[in-house]
Amino acid sequence: MNFDDTPQEAEFRAIARAWIGANAPKQYEEDLRKSSLGRTALKNADILDVAKAWQKKKADAGWACLHWPKEYGGRGSSPIERVIWQQEEGPFGQLSRMFIIGHGMCGPTMMAFAREEHKRTYLPPLASGEKVWCQLFSEPAGGSDLAGLRTRAEKDGDDWVINGQKIWTSGAHYSDYGILLTRTDPTVPKHKGLTMFFLDMKSPGVEVRPIKQASGASDFNEVYFTNVRIPDHQRLGEVGDGWNVSLTTLMNERSAIGAAVSTGFPELFEYCSSLMLDDGPAIEDRAVRSKLANWAVKASGLKYTSMRAISALSRGERPGPENSIGKLVAGSMIQDVATYALDLQGAAGVVSGEDAELAGRFQAMLLRAPGTRVEGGTDEIMRNIIAERVLGLPGDIRVDKDVPFNKIPTKGR
Partner 1 sequence: MNFDFSDDQKQLRDQARKFLAEKCSPKAVRVVLDGKAPYDKELWKGLAEMGFLGVAIPEDFGGAGAGHLELCVIAEEMGRANAPVPFSSTVYLAAEALLIAGSAAQKKKWLPAIASGDAIGTLALFEGKGNPAPKNVKLAAANGVLNGVKKPVADGTIADFAVVAARTGSSGRDSDISLFLVDLKAGGVEVKSLTNLDPTRGQAEIIFKDCKAEPLGAAGEGWSILTQVLDRAAVLCAFEQVGGSDRALEMGRDYALDRIAFGRQIGSFQAVKHMLADMYVSATLARSNSYYGAWALSTNAAELPEAAAAARISATQAFQHCAKNNIQVHGGMGFTWEFDCHMYYRRANAMALGLGSLSYWEDQLIDRMRKKNAA
The site for partner 1 (CB under 8 A) is made up of 1-6, 9, 80, 83, 269, 273, 283, 286, 289-290, 292-294, 296-298, 300-305, 307-308, 310-312, 314, 322, 325, 328-329, 380, 382-384, 386-388, 390-397
Residue 247 neighbours by CB under 8 Å, 6+ apart: none
Q: Provide the β-strand partners of residue 373.
A: none
Minimum distance, C-beta of residue 290 to partner 1, in the bound complex (Å)? 5
In the residue annotation, 253 being an active-site residue is answered as yes
Residue 238 neighbours by CB under 8 Å, 6+ apart: 195
Tell me how far apart the alpha carbons of residues 405 and 222 are, in angstroms, rounded to a whole number: 23
Q: Is 193 within 8 Å of 149 (Cβ atoms)?
A: no
Minimum distance, C-beta of residue 310 to partner 1, in the bound complex (Å)? 7
- Given the complex with partner 1, which of 115 and 308 has the nearer CB atom? 308
Kind and range of the H or E element at 207?
strand 206-210
- Given the complex with partner 1, which of 207 and 317 has the nearer CB atom? 317
Minimum distance, C-beta of residue 241 to partner 1, in the bound complex (Å)? 29
Q: Is 381 within 8 Å of 327 (Cβ atoms)?
A: no
Closest to 103 in 3D by CA, of 111, 114, 91, 115: 111
Do the bridges between strand 280-281 and strand 276-277 make them parallel or antiparallel, or are there none, so unpaired?
Answer: antiparallel
**Active-site position among 88, 253, 267, 357:** 253
- Given the complex with partner 1, which of 157 and 392 has the nearer CB atom? 392
Do the bridges between strand 152-156 and strand 133-136 make them parallel or antiparallel, or are there none, so unpaired?
Answer: unpaired
- Given the complex with partner 1, which of 80 and 344 has the nearer CB atom? 80
- Given the complex with partner 1, which of 155 and 308 has the nearer CB atom? 308
Tell me how far apart the alpha carbons of residues 303 and 85 are, in angstroms, rounded to a whole number: 16
Minimum distance, C-beta of residue 311 to partner 1, in the bound complex (Å)? 4
Minimum distance, C-beta of residue 145 to partner 1, in the bound complex (Å)? 14
Handedness of CA 193, 194, 197, 203 (dihedral sign): positive
Known catalytic residues are: 253
